[in-house]
Structure 1
Amino acid sequence: MTEHHTQLTSAEIACIWTAYLIDSMSKCILSYFLRIIEDEDIRPIIELAHTISSSHIDTLNYMYKVENLPIPKGFTEEDVNLDAPRLYTDPFMLQYITHMARTGMLGFSSFVAFGARKEIKTFFIKGLQETADLFDKCTDVLLSKGLYIRAPYIPYPTQSDHVDSKKYLSGYSIFSKQRPLNAMEISHLYMNSLNNHIGSKLSLSFAQTSSNKKVEKWMIRGCEISQKHMKIFIDMLIDNNIQSPVSSDISITDSTTPPFSDKLTMFHMGLLSSAGIGNYATSAAASQRSDLVTNYERLSVEVAQFAKDGADIMISNEWMEQPPTTKDKEKLIKEK
């Protein structure tokens, strides 16, 4: 059987490019976490996460060299100040890594689906397994410290049932009471409230440490949006007599010295915004009450506008790295 070198597809190029930027960003953040961590039970989690990101960067660098592709700039030691004072508490760092591992599992699963070449699929399958293992270890430590925020409990069903009316799909009615939330709807409201809680703390810390007024203003806006969305989701749970998720001690200090560059923090919040829009789309698809679907749709528009404004700031400061793109054929013909 004749073997030949198959060129990477556009999807594979996009996946390794995205992975490089995210892992190089993560390595910077985790390096800082390792410098300030005090809890010896949490330290191994940060060390594992740092090792994973570092090994991914090494493998991706090798892939780029083999394919003779330009290596992305990503984020380097210039984007992190390891001498910056402590900005985050130990519980925050653990919750943050848990959140990013959860997001990473979703990202790697999509990367696996895009892969065709064996070594590309193998890399992303391994990444998915490593991230799942990291998430598992995070939850074990959270549980052992009483920091794990559980989803709300509901009574066990006593029998199977079927939807017997189209009213089941309606979230608005002046003639009848809304039906109770189902388990899927509750789980998505819970998860989106947690995600926004992490987002609000992170954006506040970035605003607190940035010397760029436009970045500071945008980060404060992000914090306000996250808090607003979190309140909407929690109020929906409370209106249905369901206990909302209880926040643990995930807070930030009073330090105003930036541990990360504005380029890194802007990219990070843009990444979380994209993930949030994806989460809202998934939640809308899983929800069967029309009022929930409408809420997710309108909140997605708000996040999308926020992300677009952030991208404008990044472009104006030359902080946004351009993704690999195809050639503009019309321009090529005109300039030949």
Structure 2
Amino acid sequence: MDKDDLKLTSAEIGTLWEQYVNGTAVDIVNRYMLSIIEDEKIRTIFEDAIKIFEKHKQQITRFFENEGFPVPIGFTDSDLNKGTKRLFSDIFCLHYLHVMTVHGLLGHMTSLSASVRKDLRYFYDSCDNDGKKMYHQTTELLLEKGHFQKDPFFYPEANPEFITGQKFLDGFFGDKRPLASTEIIALSFNIKKKILEKTLSIAFSQVTQSKDAREFLETSQQTSDEQIQTLSKILQSDNLPVPMSWETEVTTSQDSPFSDKLMLYHIGFLLQAAQAYHGTGLATSMRTDLVVTYEKIILKNLMVTKEWFNIMTQYKWLEQPPLAPNRKKIAKDT
């Protein structure tokens, strides 16, 4: 069927909107990082990332314009303060790009699975290919520089085994069984994401101009730290290594490279993305103590996200996505 016979669905408009707004936020951070990075290999990867997003941004803009939808504002040069002091080390910049590439890959696949129209499916397919290439590049460079944080190694068992009883689920009474590999994946992944959230909260709290924003960022930092400690203790109880923190990769600069709007939006994006990872951790956990831990983390993050939403709407920093027609209002206006 020709694309002209298919209008974009609400899901397709929604995914395009999210890709544009989230992409422009990350792009502003990438462009600042490019301005401070000294390592030539890291600079080259950031140059590629910025070129790739510009291509994606132009295509998303065409989709909106062709359908008669307004192009989102997202984040622009007005959210970037040029010529400011260094806030991050080169290595943190590389870590940041690696993690945000992972977020992008998951976002592209979600968007692809929600797309029907051929041109949109092929667009997200190309985005996924670009993201995979960037993932390989950032991974290889982190490995080369000795900064890639590998998950714990396992020693092979002699034979496959089957679960034989309810004791496998026990996490509170008696001897806990060792963590399963599927549970370790989620624990390590969630810790790494919380480390990025905490590090950015520390950096942003140093440079933000708004008192409300600073207080929220301090709350975000404290919450992230508590959750990192909670999840780390579970790994440590099985004598498994914990991912390293990145706080020392933040300088003491108080010179803000970004608008308060961008910094708070970015933390909110990470909070919301984290809920999906926490949900995956909950779904893959069979030990009862892990289930309870993830439930508490999800509930706490909902409370922090509500606080974030209140500040964003108070300052009119939160752009509204396209809404379904309000049929009741339309009927009253006739």
Percent of counterpart pairs with the same letter? 30
Aligned counterparts of 2:265 and 2:145: Cα–Cα separation in 1:
31
Distance 1:227 1:4 in 2: 50
Does the 8 A contact of 1:149 with 1:247 survive in 2?
no
- The runs of 5 or more residues in structure 2 that have no matched partner are none
Q: Which moves more between the two structures, 24-33 or 137-146?
A: 24-33
Whether 2:81 is the aligned partner of 1:81: answer: yes
Instruction: Give a deviation string over 1:66-115, Cα, whole Å, max 9, x none.
Output: 11111111110000112111110000000001110111111111100000
Tell me the secondary structure at the aligned position of residue 110 of structure 2.
Answer: helix
Q: TM-score, normalised by structure 2?
A: 0.97
Are 1:295 and 2:304 matched, yes or no? no
Task: State which drifts further: 246-255 or 103-112.
Answer: 246-255
Aligned-pair RMSD on alpha carbons?
A: 1.4
Cα contact 2:199–2:246 (8 A) shared by 1:
no
CA–CA distance in structure 1, aligned partners of residues 293 and 247 of structure 2: 29
The residue aligned with 1:48 is 48
Question: Which digits, 9 at most, give the CA deviation of each residue in 1:13-36, with x for residues without a partner?
Answer: 000000110111122111111111
- Asked if the contact 1:152–1:245 (Cα under 8 Å) also holds between the matched residues in 2, the reply is no
* Inter-partner Cα distance in structure 1 for 2:120 and 2:38: 37
SS in 2 for 1:41: helix
Q: Are the counterparts in 2 of residues 168 and 179 from structure 1 also a CA contact under 8 Å?
A: yes
Q: CA deviation at 1:240?
A: 1.3
The equivalent of 2:15 in structure 1 is 15
TM-score (norm: length of structure 1): 0.96
Displacement over 6 Å in runs of 4+: none
Stretch of structure 1 that moved more, 312-321 or 59-68: 59-68
1:136 partner SS: helix
Contact 1:23 1:53 in 2 (8 A): yes
Deviation at 1:52, TM superposition (A): 1.5
Assess if the C-alpha contact under 8 Å between 1:26 and 1:50 holds in 2: no
Q: How far has the Cα of 1:163 moved from its partner?
A: 0.2
Q: Does the alignment pair 1:240 with 2:238?
A: yes
Q: Secondary structure at the match of 1:146?
A: coil
Cα distance, 1:82–1:2 mapped onto 2, change above 3 Å:
closer
More off after superposition, 44-53 vs 160-169: 44-53
In structure 2, the CA distance between the partners of 1:249 and 1:79, relative to structure 1 (3 Å rule), is closer
User: Which residue of 318, 326, 329 maps to 2:327?
Assistant: 329
- How many aligned residue pairs are there? 334
2-structure distance, mates of 1:192, 1:108: 20
CA distance in 2, matches of 1:247, 1:329: 50
Distance 1:273 1:186 in 2: 21
Please name the residue that 2:119 is paired with.
119
Given the alignment of the two structures, is residue 314 of structure 1 paired with residue 312 of structure 2, yes or no? yes
For the 8 Å contact 1:237–1:243, the answer to whether it is kept is yes
- CA drift of 1:250 comes to 5.9
CA distance in 2 between partners of 1:309 and 1:249 (Å): 24
CA contact (8 A) 1:270 1:307 kept: yes
Q: Return the letter of the residue paired with 1:305.
A: M
